[in-house]
Structure 1
Amino acid sequence: MPPVRDHLRVVVQGSGRRARGAGLARVLWAVAELTVTVGVVVLLLVVHQVWWTNRQAAAAAQEQVRELESRWAGGPDPDPDPDPGVGDAPGAGVEAGPDPVGAGEGDVPEPEGGGSGAPAASSPGGGGGAAKPRSPAQAPKGAYAVLRIPRLGLTVPVAQGIDKRGVLDKGYVGHYPGTAAPGERGNFALAGHRNTHGEPFRYVNRLRAGDELTVDVRGRRFVYVVGKILPETSERDTGVIAPVPRSVVKPEVGYSEPGAYITLTTCTPEYSSKYRLVVWGTLKR
């Protein structure tokens, strides 16, 4: 009889170990399933943010370019709307105020598509002597100009203000409030996303001195030539959008004489907003 009792005791102990092992396996399996589920949800959110919103904004921006050009081809605009436009108040949006850049995070492997056709007319000498366009502060809501960067194959609408929701997240380039209008003396300063939401300034780091930047406003074309590039500066470097642009963080970089300038600003490095990348150009005479 004693051997039988010993045998039964061993069997009971073995069953207990198997039960504990099975319970641990179930816990590990549940954790694995939860991890996979969370991973899939995160992946879908990334795809939505990086790919889908980018495609939506880029497509809408190109449609806005076509609408502008169609309107210009049909004749002069109606009387200006006294409302200064979308998001043009200083401090509007998270990237207004002293921050000289509007940009975001994201990742799409190719630049914006090419142009939507030439403007209806060009002024002599790139627009230097043409009548001034209506000030953006008096422009109707929405985009009022088209920026083209031939080296990048970029055609993008320009709207007044740098509000994220009202301007930048639509895939537009935003015109800093208080800076000069296209073709005017002073600094025509622009901000754009580098990643996601159309990412118009994704590849501005590829620009080189001598590249042309054109701005079309109701059939008039203003041509700027890239002169200087500031690869990295602080987000608070307001000097880069001053009437005579010069970095206050790196005072050796910039200009010292009044003129007609254009400034492109965006975030750097890619997928972050830690620093700002700045491209400057001067109006071609």
Structure 2
Amino acid sequence: MPTPEDTPDAADAPKGAIVVPLRPVRTDEGYRSVYSEYTRTTFGSVVRAISRGTGEVLITFGLIVLLFAGYEVWGKSAIVDAHQDELNHQLEQQWANQPTVGPSSAVTPVKPPNGAVIASVHIPRLNKKWAIVQGVTPADIRYAPGHYPDTALPGQVGNFSMAGHRTPAIWWDLDQLKPGDPVVIKTADTWYVYRVVGHEIVLPTAVQVVAPVPDKPGETPTKAMLTMTTCNPKFNNYQRYVVHAELDRSQPVADGDPAELKG
């Protein structure tokens, strides 16, 4: 026989609370659990279970997608940095093993094969530098900016053009460059200091941006230009962000680092 302490008083319960007896309820079929009304399967409980399970799956899937996106954007930076270290090491060895030719030499440089490391680019505003490889195929620019093979070489009259991925390890912040900012190219014997003259956002099909005279295909160049292209906007690639620069001056590597890299 239940005692008064065994049976909760509904009147004493907080508003909205469900009072559950503490002992089994006796029925004609025997004793029934006091929790049976709350644990039995109903249409509502099935719907709630499915909703809860679906929600947990979606949350888990969302976390996986976020982790993958984070790895794609930031996690690969360490990999790119490691490859950049190796490319820069190759470049230094390559320069050490070849004869020095001054920038005024009349010898026409031979274009290197695709995939070869050819120079380095320094952008003081971003406090970054990268080894540059020849070629702009996905394999060429996986870990470095690449030189468009059919464009001018550093310092030449024409348009020395490069493409780079819009990742934190490469040209993530290219849009921070302003007119007048230096972009410095180093070759085996010469520093070339270019100055930014402007930028534009174009479609991927706008190949005229890397013409010898940018955006004026067919015209004969009279200046040494530099063009850098990358994806736009960040996290997407349906546009191209393009920075143009013009050669300001050059100096021999033997004279030391240019002033633009000492500030």
CA distance in 2, matches of 1:149, 1:25: 57
Match of 1:87 in 2: none
For residue 53 of structure 1, the aligned residue among 72, 76, 86 is 76
Give 1:263-274 correspondences, 5 Å limit. 263-274=227-238
1:152 to partner: Cα distance: 1.3
Letter in 1 for 2:224: A
CA distance in 2, matches of 1:160, 1:33: 48
In the alignment, structure 2 segments of 5+ residues that lack a partner are 1-26, 250-263
Give 1:1-285 correspondences, 5 Å limit. 18-20=40-42, 21-72=44-95, 74-76=96-98, 127=103, 129-130=104-105, 134-135=109-110, 137-139=111-113, 141-164=115-138, 166-170=139-143, 172-195=144-167, 198=169, 200-230=170-200, 232-246=201-215, 258-285=222-249
1:224 to partner: Cα distance: 1.5
Match of 2:256 in 1: none
User: What percentage of residue pairs aligned between the two structures are identical?
Assistant: 28
1:16 to partner: Cα distance: 10
Higher strand share: 2
In 2, are the aligned partners of 1:224 and 1:284 still within 8 Å (CA)?
A: yes
Q: Which has the larger radius of gyration?
A: 2
In 1, are the aligned partners of 2:115 and 2:140 still within 8 Å (CA)?
A: no
Give the count of matched residue pairs.
217
Secondary structure of 1:169's partner?
coil
The structure with higher relative contact order (CA 8 Å, sep 6+) is 1
In 1, are the aligned partners of 2:156 and 2:224 still within 8 Å (CA)?
A: yes
CA distance in 1, matches of 2:116, 2:150: 17
1:159 to partner: Cα distance: 0.9
In 2, are the aligned partners of 1:194 and 1:201 still within 8 Å (CA)?
A: yes
Normalization by structure 1: what TM-score? 0.66
